[in-house]
Every structure is written in structure tokens, then in C-alpha cells.
Chains A and B, each alone.
Chain A
Amino acid sequence: MTLTLMEGNEAIGWGAATAGCKFFAGYPITPATTIYNTMLKLLPPKGGICLQGEDEIASIGFCLGAAMAGMKTMTATSGPGISLYSEQISFAIGSEIPIVIVDVQRLGPSTGSATKGADGDIQFLQWGSSSGLPVIVLAPVDVKDCYVLTMQAFNLAEQYRCPVFVAANKEISMTRETVDLEQLDLPPIVQRRTADPTVPFLPFGVRDNQRVPDFLAIGGDRLVRETSSTHGTDGYITTDPEQIAMMQERLDAKLNKAVSEFTYFDEFNVSNADTLVIAYGVTARAAKAAARKLQQSEKSASVLILKTLWPVPEALIREKAAPYKRVVMAEMNLGQYVRELQRLLPDKKIDFLGQMNGELIKPRQIMEVIQNG
């Protein structure tokens, strides 16, 4: 075993480079800046491109252009930057542009606290666009996840042609941690599917039994159209209700019906426990520590760690919660993802532990909730 000391943001950068990221653009913001620093170190010497935009809108705009020109792209910011990305995110959703967006969450609202952690953007990431259409959000727990889930994020962006968020947190991203890089279980690298050269190209046409259009790059030897307008399969604006409905339903189905293909999670099972703690991100670490400490006690608990947050892995949550009478949700906000559990598990007793004070939720706090239920 050899260990490498790395902060979460560096691991995100290395994961991106390993996944084939060739283009990064960002605007400096604590606690995401060190991703930009890492990409600036990794990409240009190897023929890749790393740019600093004049603002967040430009940074993600550069990425959308480069993504449609064929490159794997990533941008990184924090809550205030996600707000500015919002319109471009809608564009990427509706116009099926692959991009990885890292949100290193910090305590909001607004400018908030640059150096305090939170998981306050968890609903915002899903609902911060002007469509209500699904996005993919993955949440790393530690430095290891920062590396591996970033790779998964690239693969999913390629496969589904959509924005994929890595919902990190200052507490993971700016914490240095030892990791055994050789032991990481790295996924095979996925490339976007290229259109068949023998068939006339429709930028938003899908093959039979597919929900994702084939890709051709802007600048290649066949003409490509990309547009933010409501479009038909040919990439031209349309007002035809049938075509519009088909497109919207496909955008909804391509992720919502595929979530079982990318439901990432971890679990810590304690036999005879009647409580299941569900957590994600850095809080999952405290949950696991709490459950471990209570393993031998009368009121013990198992832990389900969600790494795919959106689309909500409903089947997994229902299946894992089934044996338990009670579910405890702990998250670094005042009650966001717990709403999904309340919706999915109406027959369970659901207790919530939230905190929004810039500090980590401690194992002790979770133990109290487990024991006092």
C-alpha cells in the first residue's frame, strides 16, 4: 500500500484528467479555486485547454462551445457561481450538451461564507433550471469519491449528453486526505456515441430504442446545428406541439428511466438494527462513525450512503429502507433531501437532523437521534 496526500479538489482534477477531460474553464471562487489551479497544471502541458473566464457565465459558455466542438469539458464553482450558470445549465439540459459541473458547496445564502461548508444547494442543483427536466447529481463522500465519481460524471455526461453535477462540499474539497490511488476502482472510460456516417445526420434524432441522440462535432466534416431554442430533430426551431412534447418527454425519460444504470451508493449494515440512517456527502462519514459506535448497543442503526442524488434513486431507497421501521436523515442544511424520503417512504417514521452553521454534523449528534427515536 502507498498513500498519496491530496485534497478533494485535486482529486476531482486528476479524476477529470483521467476521464479524458481536455477543456476546463472556471472563474476563481473559494472553495472551488483549487480545481481550477489543478486543471491549469494538468491540461495545457498535455495539449488540453484551461481558461479563466471573465465571469461564471463566460466560463461555462466556453465549455459549452468546446463540448459541442467535441471535447470533454468541465467547469467548477460554488453556490454563487451556480446561480450565474443557471441559464447556461438550462441550455445544456435542453440542447443535450455534455458537461461536468462541480459545485463545491459553501454556506449560503448568497455570498454567505466562502470558507464554511454546507450541502445547501442539493435541491437547487436539480431545480435551478427553467425546465424542471432532470439532471444528474453525484455526491462524493471523501477524496476517493472525488476522483472516482468525477470520472463517472464524465462517463454519464458522454453517455446521456447532459450536464452532470459533482456536488462536493468545502469540507471534502479543501480537506487534505490520504488515499491509496492504486486501490481505486476506476471505471472504464466512455465516449459519446458518434453518428452513423451512412445515414443523413439529424442533430437531435435518436436511433430506434435509444433516448440519446448521436453526436457529431461542430467543425467536423458534416454540418452540425446546436440551438437553445425549442427544436425538432433537425435542430431548427419548431412550434409543432407533437415534436415539442416528444422532445420534452425524451429529455425526461433519458435520465429518469435510466437511473438504475447509475445508482451509486454505499452501505454499512448492522444486523438487527431497526433504524436506517440515510446520508450523503461529508455527513455520511459522521453517520458511519455513529453507527459503528452504536453497533453493539440496543438501539443500533445501519447506514445507506447515497452517491447518486438526482434523479432520485427511488428503487434503491425503497428497497434499502424496507426492513427498517425508522429512517433518520442527516444533512448539512435545514431539510432538503429529506423531502424526497418523506415522499418515497410515507409509511416510515422519518426523523431529521439538519444543521446549517458552517460546522460538520458530529457523530455524537447522529448517535443521539438514533438513540432517542
Chain B
Amino acid sequence: MDSLLNRNRPSVFCPGCSHDKVLHVLDQALTSMEFVGEEVAIVTDIGCSGLFDTFFNTHAFHGLHGRALTYATGIKMARPELKVIVTMGDGGLGIGGAHVLSTCRRNIDLTLLVLNNFNYGMTGGQCSSTTPQDAQVGSGFLNKLEKPMDICQVAVAAGAGYVSRASTYDKGLVETLKEAVVFDGFSLVDIWGICPGRYTRRNKITPKSIEADLKQLPELDDFKTLNSRMEYGRAYRQEAARQKAPSDPVHIEATCTPPQTGRSEIVVLGSAGQRIITAGELLCLAGAAAGCHATQKNDYPITVMRGHSVSEIILSDIEIEYSGIENPSIVIALAAEGVNRRKKMLADLSSEMLVIKAVGVELPPCQATITEIDFKAKKIKPQECALAALAVLAWQNKVLTMDMLKAALKLRFKTAVYEMALAVAKKVVV
């Protein structure tokens, strides 16, 4: 094939636009590498560079400003065999900066051509992230105040495996693009060029001045060695193949008999580290082991190692409709942090309700029947109190039975922890 360009859609760039040159150089590079259109996807975003995909007879994906790399990443992960080329302008580079950095870090096999013409050509020549500070552009004085970015240094620092600066007018550009395309990982070519429609109207810039300016930029050091590593997609598939197959959801047989019918609401009030959430889960599992429906709602702050931890559990022999707590029959109070979160609920408890309370935990005045337990005296560690409180209930056949608790412990823990948990339960035999 002598060209991948679409003969029915000749390019429509302004006369003298550097994009038009790059378009033909890219076509030369791809055809000389013997790609056919079906093997290539051109992914573009907004701006003049975003017209690239329409001029090629390849797969094409044209999306939002600065987001081309995100689509390209999805396409490449889904179709590793496809050659994916992304074009972006210096505008897309700025707005999509986070994606550029992350793509460098990932090292996924995409080729990004930055068509860098130092301004937003399509919207009136405003300044971009690469506009020189002394340029006259459509943003008044604003570009004087912002330093232009050398994307190549940024890309190198972010971990790109192939980074190259080039002038549109450089005779070696075809070879540079071929090198970038063939590179097994993320490659970025920063291609400087002229925007005759906007930029050169007020700024003197020529192929010669571009060449001179490029020469003044710092060398890109030894990043090739530093950033050399396996291509992301391949590395991903390798890691994925090592992952353990997920275990299927656990189906719990009803092997026990619940001690009561109807709906029971249990609230466990504690603090971080007391395994409150685990206790809630155990209650649900115990319920399920007796054929009961269960719900568990937890409440804890973002600091998972400090502050309150509250678990609200409902067990019922019929399906649970409302999943909030209306009328708790049992409250387990193990720490002030949790109690403070539910003061109003505690104050509203009636005398049929039971509160199991650790010694030293203060409750607001309440009508409920209170059982106080000195866990410390029974040699029960703080992180075992919630489990011990469940055992207290189980020994009395309140909400759950010891059979149910054992079934729950078996579902939740391996043998060693199961045995330890049983030992804790035995410390509170009534």
C-alpha cells in the first residue's frame, strides 16, 4: 500500500500549516512499515490536530479535548494487537496533563504525537502550556506570566520509555516517527511547527528558528535506561494470570433453629479496633445459618483506626423491608465513642430492651435492662469484647443460639481463629 490517507477526504489544514506536513510524514512512516488500515487506530481530541483521524483510512476515534490518551488506553487494553497512534496539540497537552503523566508512568504501547504550535489555533490563538513568555497571542498579557512547559522533560520525569523532540521540518522526522511507533511501550514525540493561521501573524517563527530553539533545550539524559521496563499491557496480562480465581459467593445452609420469630434489631456501639463490624457480620452469618434474613449497616469515620464504630444489624425470619433501626431489642455498648453517636437512641430505650455494657462505659439515663460485664476481669482483650458480648447473648438464647454463633464463626474464620473465638465465648458462660 502506498498510502493510508483517505483519497476522498484530502486534508483541509491552512496553507503552510505544519500539521499538514506531519500528516504526510506519519502516513509515510506507517506505509513504509507496511501497516494496513485495519491494523491501526488513530485517536484524536479537539483542535486542529483533532482532524487527523478523518484524513486516514484506518480505525478512528475522535473524542473530547485532552482525553485522547484515555480512549487510546482502553482501546489498546482491549485490542493489544492494534497499533494505536494518538495526536494531540499543545492545547490537549495542557488540559489533559494528568493523562499524559499517567500514560508515561504506565508505559502502555501507544504513540503520542504532540503537534506543538504554541497556541490554540482553533479558538483564536490563545496561549497554551507551551507558549513562550515573549510571544504575542490572543490571551493579552497572560502568557507573560506563565512559564512554558518542556513536555519532553516532564515525560522523562514521569517515566516515559521513548521521548523525542523534533521539528516538523526535520528531514529525519519519518525515521523518528517509525522509531516511536515501533517502540514497545509509551512513546512521545514533541513535534514543533508553525501555525500560519494564528501564531505567525504576530510572532516571527521559521523552520530555522525552531531548529535553533530546539538545540538550546537541555539534553534528555539517560532516561532510556532509567525508564526501560516491560510494556504495561503485557505486564498487566502477566500479573492478571497470576491472580487467584475469585471464590464464588458463599451459600449458607440453614442448619440451626433461631431462638425466636419476628424482627430483631441489634446495635453494637464501640470504637475503632474493637472488631465491631466483624461482630455485626458474625450476627448476620449466625442469622443466615438459622435461615433468617439479615442486614448490616455500619457507621465509622474515615479515620479507620480512631473514633467510633457502630454496627446496626437486623435479623428476621421474613424478608427485611425497612433496613433502618426503629426499635432495637439489644444494644451492646463497648466504648464511649460509639455510645456518643447513639445517645438519643439509648435515651429512648424502653424497659424490655437489653443493654450489654462493658464496665466503665457510661450510658445516658435510660429505661433499658442493663447487664454489665467486666471483660477485663474475665481476661478478655478489648478486640474480643464484641465477640464475647455475642456469646453472652448466645448462652442466653437471645437473638442467637450457641449453635448459630458456632456456625457463624466457622463460616467466617479458619480453624485456628475459630478455636480462639470459641475459647473467648467460653469465658462468658452464664
- Stretch of A57-65, A205-213, A250-258, A344-352 contacting B (4+ beta carbons < 8 Å): A57-65
A65 engages B323 (CB within 8 Å): no
Which stretch (A40-48, A154-162, A190-198, A314-322) binds chain B?
A40-48
A69 within 8 A of B: yes
Chain A residues 64 to 84 lying within 8 A of chain B, measured CB to CB, are 64-71, 73
Bitwise interface map of B from 75 to 92 toward A, beta carbon under 8 Å scored 1, else 0:
111110110000000000
Instruction: State the Cβ distance, A20 to closest chain B Cβ, in Å.
Output: 14
Q: How far is the CA of A354 from the CA of B344 in the complex (A)?
A: 22
Enumerate chain B residues within 8 angstroms of A236, measured Cβ to Cβ. 9, 54
Which residues of B have CB within 8 Å of A6?
249
B73/A65 in contact, CB under 8 A: yes
- Separation of A217 and B300 alpha carbons in the complex (Å): 45
The number of chain A residues with a CB under 8 A from chain B is 78
Q: Shortest distance in angstroms between A52's beta carbon and chain B's nearest beta carbon?
A: 10
Partner of A175, one of B253, B293, B295: B295
Interface positions of B from 269 to 309, Cβ below 8 Å from A: 281, 284-285, 287-288, 291-300, 302
Residues of chain B lying within 8 A (CB to CB) of residue A70:
78-79
For residue A126, CB closer than 8 A to chain B, the reply is: no
Query: In the assembly, what is the distance between CA of A62 and CA of B102, in Å?
Result: 13
Asked if A181 lies at the interface with its beta carbon under 8 angstroms from chain B, I say yes
Once the chains are docked, how many angstroms separate the CA of A221 from the CA of B82? 11
A170 nearest in chain B by CB position? B297
B-facing residues in A130-178 (Cβ within 8 Å):
171, 174-178
**Out of B102, B236, B243, B287, which one reaches A178, CB within 8 Å?**
B287
Residue A289 is within 8 A (CB to CB) of chain B in the complex? yes
**Contact partners of B239 in chain A: CB under 8 A:** 44
Q: Mark B185-221, 1 if CB is under 8 A from A, else 0.
A: 0000000000000000000000000000000000000
Q: Judging by beta carbons under 8 Å apart, are A225 and B73 in contact?
A: no
Residue of A88, A224, A362 touching B60 (CB-CB under 8 A): A224
In the assembled complex, how far is the CB of residue B307 from the closest CB belonging to chain A, in whole angstroms? 12
Do B324 and A362 touch across chains, with their CB atoms under 8 A apart? yes
Between B76, B246, B251, the greatest number of chain A beta carbons within 10 A of the residue's beta carbon is seen for B246
B251 neighbours in A (Cβ, 8 Å): 2-4, 181-182
- Nearest CB of chain A from residue B57's CB, rounded to whole Å: 7
Q: Is A128 an interface residue (CB 8 A)?
A: no
Interface size of B by CB at 8 A reads 69
Closest A residue, CB atoms, query B242: A45
Check: B98 CB closer than 8 A to any chain A CB: yes
Known: A4-B251, A58-B102, A282-B323. A218 touches B9 (CB 8 A): no
Residue in B77, B79, B298, B326 whose beta carbon sits within 8 Å of that of A51 in the complex? B77
Q: B81 contacts which chain A residues (CB < 8 A)?
A: 219
Q: Is the CB of A65 within 8 A of B61?
A: yes
> In the assembled complex, which residues on chain A have CB atoms less than 8 Å from the CB atom of B288?
3-5, 178
Contact yes or no, A227 B60, CB < 8 A: yes
Bound CA span A228–B43, Å: 12
Q: Is the CB of A225 within 8 A of B38?
A: no
CB 8 Å contact bits of B242-281 with A (1 = contact, 0 = none): 0111100111111000000000000000000000000001
A216-244 interface with B by 8 A CB criterion: 217-229, 235-237
Q: Is A335 an interface residue (CB 8 A)?
A: no
CB contact between A62 and one of B61, B73, B82, B249 (< 8 Å): that residue: B73
A115 within 8 A of B: yes
B38, B54, B79: the one contacting A69 at CB < 8 Å is B79
- Given A65-B71, A176-B295, A178-B284, decide whether A218 and B61 contact each other with a Cβ distance below 8 A: yes
Distance from A57 Cβ to chain B, minimum over Cβ atoms (Å): 6
Is A23 in the interface zone, CB < 8 Å from B? yes
Q: Interface 1/0s, chain A 18-42, versus B by CB < 8 A?
A: 0000110100001000000000011
A280 sits at the interface (CB 8 A): no
Q: How far is the CB of A220 from chain B (nearest CB, A)?
A: 8
Known: A2-B253, A45-B240, A286-B322. A219 touches B74 (CB 8 A): no
Stretch of B62-70, B223-231, B418-426 on the interface side: B62-70
Task: Tell me the chain B residues, 134-191 only, with Cβ under 8 Å from chain A.
Answer: none
The answer to whether B245 touches A4 (Cβ under 8 A) is no
Whole-angstrom distance between the Cβ of B44 and the nearest chain A Cβ: 9
Determine if B281 and A5 form an interchain contact, defined as CB atoms under 8 angstroms apart: yes
CA distance A181 to B252 in the complex (A): 11
- Cβ of A114 within 8 Å of any chain B Cβ, yes or no, is yes
Verify if B101 is at the interface (C-beta below 8 Å from A). yes
Q: How far is the CB of B361 from chain A (nearest CB, A)?
A: 24
> Nearest Cβ in chain B — how far from A338, in angstroms?
21
| With A49-B78, A65-B73, A171-B323 as contacts: A1 and B291 at CB distance below 8 Å | yes
- B58 engages A58 (CB within 8 Å): no
Known: A45-B245, A182-B251. A23 touches B322 (CB 8 A): no
- Are A178 and B294 in contact, CB atoms less than 8 angstroms apart? yes
Chain A residues, Cβ within 8 Å of B63: 61, 64, 91, 226-228
Whole-angstrom CA separation of A114 from B302 in the bound complex: 9
Q: Within 8 Å of chain B (Cβ to Cβ): is A185? A: no
- Given A223-B58, A223-B59, A226-B61, decide whether A362 and B326 contact each other with a Cβ distance below 8 A: yes
Q: Is the CB of A3 within 8 A of B245?
A: no
**B384 in the interface (beta carbon within 8 A):** no
* Chain B residues positioned under 8 Å from A47 (CB to CB): 240
A353 to B291 alpha-carbon distance, docked (Å): 35
Q: In the complex, how many angstroms separate the beta carbon of A277 from the nearest chain B beta carbon? A: 13
B62 with A228: CB separation less than 8 A: yes
What are the residues of chain A within 8 A of B82 when measuring CB–CB? 69, 218-219
**Residues of chain B within 8 A of A364, CB atoms compared:** 326
C-alpha spacing A184/B294, complex, angstroms:
17
Cross-chain contact A61 with B246 (CB below 8 angstroms): no
Contacting residues, chain A, for B292 (C-beta < 8 A): 178
Q: Quick check: B72 and A65 within 8 Å, CB to CB?
A: yes
Asked whether B41 is an interface residue with its Cβ less than 8 Å from the other chain, the reply is yes
When C-beta atoms are compared, the residue in chain B nearest to A88 turns out to be B64
Cβ A54 vs Cβ B98 within 8 A: yes
Task: Evaluate contact between A177 and B323: CB separation under 8 angstroms.
Answer: yes
In the complex formed, the residue of B with least CB distance to A220 is: B38
Name the CB-closest residue of A to B72. A65
Contact partner, B99, options A54, A64, A68, A175, Cβ 8 Å: A54
Say yes or no: B75 contacts A69, CB within 8 Å.
Answer: yes
What are the 10 A-B residue pairs with the smallest beta carbon separation, nearest first? A61-B70, A65-B74, A219-B79, A65-B71, A69-B78, A44-B240, A66-B74, A2-B251, A54-B102, A62-B74
Residues on A facing B (Cβ under 8 Å): 1-6, 10, 14, 22-23, 25, 30, 41-42, 44-47, 49, 51, 53-55, 57-58, 60-71, 73, 87-88, 91, 114-115, 171, 174-178, 181-182, 217-229, 235-237, 282, 285-286, 288-289, 292, 359-360, 362-364
